[in-house]
Amino acid sequence: MSLSKPELFEFLEFKYDQYNKSSFIETDPISIPHQFSRKEDIEIAGFLTATISWGTRTSILKDANKLMQMMDCSPYNFILHASRNEQKSLNSFYHRTFNGSDCIFFLKSLKNIYKNQEGLEPLFDDPGKTGMKETISRFRKIFLGTSHDLHSEKHLANPSAGSSAKRILMFLRWMVRNDKKGVDFGLWTRIRPKDLFCPLDVHSGSVARKLGLLRRKANDWRSVEELTGNLRQFDPDDPVKYDFALFGLGVFEKF
């Protein structure tokens, strides 16, 4: 698809407006944290849902809802106060390769973070100063500071090793963007929307290449940087808003 820069800008803006609506929420993983109103519940539900967001959207929603129910639909209270037996009940949970052992570790690490680190938000340093790759890598190091099986580490992306970190970037978009459209939450203020990086997966990568926004073939961190840099040419203050356009074109329109 060959478009001039003004034509591409107009196209991306149109698709962003088309998909950045509350009607988008129902079939998207972001619907899980939208079940809650307390900041901590939204953060935890969002983080856990983003963590298991691979595979079909139907299976993601089914398993994320199941996990919320296993946490008594009160994730913040559960991670802080669940008894050992209540924690062990999560041994039966799994989503693809994310198993019960992984789940229990994630909840223990979150408990440590909320008790001793003042929550998730402070762990993400201002990426405008440190760089997003370094910010995520630092968060990953802290999160993995709780005792865990080596198997669990693969469920937390490492951009320093080249990972696109799609699920963490998606979670950050949910927490940071605040355009009053009712989809993203805008709960966090330490990170500015201008410093977010675009989540990249098979769908968005394919669309980005067809639109000339990405030339690199691999869906890795260097491609995330390339794509986000190109999107900043269209909106330097909120480049990741075009995630709606790329995702919608790929998933709903098979572009």
Q: Tell me the per-residue pLDDT of 132-190, one tens digit each, with 9 for 90 and over.
A: 999 999 999 999 999 999 999 999 999 999 999 999 999 999 999 999 999 999 999 99
Query: What pLDDT digit, counting tens, does each position of 75-99 carry?
Result: 999 999 999 899 999 999 999 999 9
- Read off the pTM: 0.96
Check if the beta carbon of residue 67 is closer than 8 Å to that of residue 51: no
Mean pLDDT confidence for 111-118: 94
Contacts of 94 (CB under 8 A, 6+ apart): 63, 100, 103
- Domain assignment of residue 66, given as a range: 5-251
Mean pLDDT confidence for 16-24: 94
Check if the beta carbon of residue 174 is closer than 8 Å to that of residue 120: no
pLDDT of residue 48: 98
Confidence of residue 57 (pLDDT cuts 50, 70, 90): very high
pLDDT of residue 2: 79
Q: Is 17 helix (H, G, I), strand (E, B) or coil?
A: helix
Residue 239 has pLDDT above 70, yes or no: yes
What total of structural domains would you count in the chain?
1
Token code pair at residue 50: 């983003």
Q: What percent of the chain has pLDDT over 70?
A: 100
Which of 16, 25, 22, 19 has the alpha carbon at shortest distance from 231?
A: 16
Helix ranges (DSSP H) in 71-144:
75-81, 84-88, 100-116, 127-130, 132-143
Which of 249, 242, 210 has the alpha carbon at shortest distance from 228?
A: 242
Q: Is 178 exposed, middle or buried (0-12, 13-18, 19+ CB in 10 A)?
A: middle
Confidence of residue 127 (pLDDT cuts 50, 70, 90): confident
The backbone torsions φ and ψ at residue 98, rounded to the nearest 5 degrees and listed phi first, read -85, 105
Mean pLDDT confidence for 112-124: 94
pLDDT of residue 1: 67
CA distances from 162 to 30, 80, 220, 244 (A): 26, 33, 6, 24
CA distance between the termini of the chain: 10
pLDDT of residue 59: 97
Q: With left for phi above 0 and alpha for psi between -120 and 50, is residue 177 left, alpha or beta?
A: beta
